[in-house]
Structure 1
């Protein structure tokens, strides 16, 4: 048994790595990272490196930490390979945020390949290939659109909703570090607890009609020696929030 990983493409960000193990006529792929833009190219490389004549292909998704709608194209590519090569393929061990994307897409969270359907041209749909599992009742109901609602429109609406949720999640993840830093600054300067620091930031955001992340960034920037203080409306809001908690603004970062 030998573990290998396909070489990284020159000039591409390493958002996903796929380790692989081939044992006789079975292959195991272990994706690590994020199923985002570019993930299909990484999968295509991994599939191209597999030997012919496989009897089974399994993917362990336990190390996939994030997924956006590009992950659905990842599944379509994998399903296409399974159908074209007549190799049964499964995905397992989904966890965390990617499960939410699968649920929102109407896919089986245990193995979404069982409910992934690919667009086909005109004519009757072919029966399941040698490596394909039969469509489940849940997949059939997902494929049927509501009355007066075209299947393509329903899928597009679902994808738009998922993209909005993913965007909100990315923004929240990007905002957390500076907010946590601001809480630390407030705790150090004003001898408050972590919860009290959070309430100070949130109240200052509301009072000044300023985004929470902007308030937090101003607090962090203002704590450095020689750094400019926060804008006047943010300073006033911070003073008010501190006063309501019985804290007096003092020293550097006290505004």
Structure 2
């Protein structure tokens, strides 16, 4: 059986799904997608459907590629379930960006609920709140990642336009965009948006400064 929740990024991030199975009193939950708003409710619904007699819950997190601070609430739900039912719970298999978030929150990324140094009281969310400076850094990093994920599609489109127009490689197109951004002192996503809009024939023309920067960047990077 499985539960799911949707993110607010209209397909740019992955829907969280949790598949579950029980064997000899051990429940294995497999999470796939991203831990964002609503993920804790998805987990709560999955846990509520587990049968009586479960003595252990293992949550496999290898399929999770992105999490923000809502992932800490997700862990709190699992921790609370274990306390109330008096069963062992674990969430393991974290990778890449989620591991970084757990580290910044002061949790063991290998096993945040049971790892060395884990404090059983208070629950993880309160531990994080005590680490005000770390939480501020955490929120900043997550916001930067969100912006990067939102702007990436237009940058990829602009690279495609340059590749088709100038018969260049993806790396060469990226270098053109970056060089034009630096030469014109314009944010990279704005340069990419103007390149993409200009390819359609009905979009606004880049400013003279940006056009000069693009010409210079193309000459430097593609010749």
- CA deviation after TM superposition for structure 1 residue 224, in Å: 1.7
The partner residue of 1:184 within 139, 160, 171 is: 160
Determine which structure has greater relative contact order: mean sequence separation of CA pairs < 8 Å that are 6+ residues apart, divided by chain length: 2
Alignment of 1:21-170 (within 5 A): 21-115=21-115, 136=116, 138-139=117-118, 154-170=130-146
Map of 2:11 onto structure 1: none
Q: Which protein is bigger by CA-based radius of gyration?
A: 1
SS at 1:114 equivalent: coil
The partner residue of 1:5 within 2, 6, 10 is: 2
Contiguous gaps of at least 5 residues in structure 2 = 9-13
Contiguous gaps of at least 5 residues in structure 1 = 116-135, 144-150, 248-255
Q: Distance in 2 between matches of 1:191 and 1:59?
A: 47
- CA deviation after TM superposition for structure 1 residue 212, in Å: 0.4
- CA deviation after TM superposition for structure 1 residue 192, in Å: 3.5
CA spacing shift, 1:152–1:186, aligned 2, 3 Å? closer
Higher strand share: 2
Say whether the 8 Å CA contact 1:15–1:39 is kept in structure 2: no
Say whether the 8 Å CA contact 2:105–2:134 is kept in structure 1: yes
User: Number of aligned pairs?
Assistant: 212
Q: Distance in 2 between matches of 1:246 and 1:47?
A: 56
- CA deviation after TM superposition for structure 1 residue 53, in Å: 2.7
SS at 1:139 equivalent: coil
Q: Distance in 1 between matches of 2:81 and 2:221?
A: 61
Map of 2:16 onto structure 1: 16
Say whether the 8 Å CA contact 2:106–2:128 is kept in structure 1: no
RMSD: 2.5
Deviation string, structure 1 residues 30-54 (Cα, Å, up to 9, x no partner): 1221111111111111111112232
SS at 2:33 equivalent: strand
- TM-score, scaled relative to structure 2: 0.84
- TM-score, scaled relative to structure 1: 0.74
SS at 1:113 equivalent: coil
The partner residue of 1:241 within 188, 194, 217 is: 217
